[in-house]
Chains A and B, each alone.
Chain A
């Protein structure tokens, strides 16, 4: 199984450009989420989805859009890239964790630089 696949692995954008970070999982997981990781800040939740057609905002959603048209895919769109969005982006998926919780599976990350 591929697990969670993120593309691209690296990307350089100019300020104002838009792009889509791709995330796909082959485990039939209901929950998918996007985090960004900055030095000294840990992982911060951007957006998440609890199933196809359902998305919600996390801690730092501004400047990002998501959609979930299929169970497998959860793309993250940067509408107008800004230098503050330079970061490493991680996609994760899991079964419905509920109160008991469950393991989240992470992709390898996309390192984005906005110049």
Chain B
């Protein structure tokens, strides 16, 4: 079963607005990653946050991690039409397997 679950499943916003996506997971993790998938393409890595980190930034992306609540959020500030894509969280570092486990994703549409 999938470890991470993104919320909401779909998000529609206007260009310039901020987009926030959440990820909840079930068991303890050592790291969490966010990926982006444009329609018909493979996934592209965005950012990785480790269990001893609470917040991380990369350009217009801000990721938070709350291990006590087993949740993470991805904030995209000042969104652009080109940010339209699906976004997935992936949990990793569990004992026995270091292969990341993906959620179902959030579909983001940014209207110009």
Contact = CB atoms under 8 A, between A and B. Distances in A.
A43 interface: yes
Given A48-B99, A97-B93, A103 B104 contact: no
Interface string A96-111: 1111111111111100
Contacts of A59: 1
Contacts of A103: 33, 45, 48
A100 B31 contact: yes
Contacts of A104: 33, 35, 43, 45, 90, 100
B62 to A, nearest CB: 18
Contact of A31 (B32, B98, B101): B98
Interface of A: 4, 31, 33, 35, 40-45, 48, 56, 58-59, 90, 92, 96-109
B21 to A, nearest CB: 13
A101 B2 contact: no
Contacts of A40: 104
B41 interface: yes
Contacts of A98: 93, 98
Nearest to A105: B45
A43 B88 contact: yes
Contact of A45 (B50, B99, B103): B99
Interface string B19-60: 000000000001111010000111111001010000000000
Given A40-B104, A42-B2, A43-B88, A99 B42 contact: no
Contact of A42 (B40, B98, B102): B102
A71 to B, nearest CB: 17
B50 A100 contact: yes
A45 B103 CA distance: 11
B31 to A, nearest CB: 3
Nearest to B91: A101
B92 A97 contact: yes
A101 B101 contact: no
A108 B30 contact: no
B26 to A, nearest CB: 14
Contacts of A48: 97, 99
